[in-house]
Amino acid sequence: MDRNRITGTARQAAGRLKEIAGYAGQDTALRAEGLYDEAVGYGTRAVGQARDHAADLADDAYEAGRRLYGRSLHSLQRGVHDHPVALVVAAGVAGAAIAWLLSQPRR
């Protein structure tokens, strides 16, 4: 749990207590302040939850990327081992295409 979630929960509870005290003492200003604090607490908690979810999603995406990179590297190494001449030809064609694109006059 991060600071936003803890702060939000505390502010929400304090706001609820102020609201109850405002109802008990017929103090509309205290009730309004309690409602405001409670709403800010909800918002702060929501920000903390969103940050936690975003961090979890980023971690999951990173791990998925690492797995895919490892599998693709392994597949590429296997292809190079099986067909080394095809790799040299493909690299030559790619180099020629890049050289052709760079040698074209700009419009």
Does 98 or 9 have the greater pLDDT score?
98
pTM of the model: 0.56
Q: Which two tokens stand for residue 14?
A: 């304090």
Other beta carbons within 10 Å of 38: 19
Task: Give the CA radius of gyration of the chain.
Answer: 30
pLDDT tens-digit map of 30-57: 888 888 888 888 888 898 889 999 999 9
- What pLDDT is attached to residue 21? 86
Q: Which two tokens stand for residue 101?
A: 């694109």
Distance CA 5, CA 8 (A): 5
Q: How confident is the prediction for the chain on average, in pLDDT?
A: 88
Distance CA 94, CA 87 (A): 10
Q: Tell me which residue of 23, 52, 51, 25 sits closest to 38, measured CA to CA.
A: 23
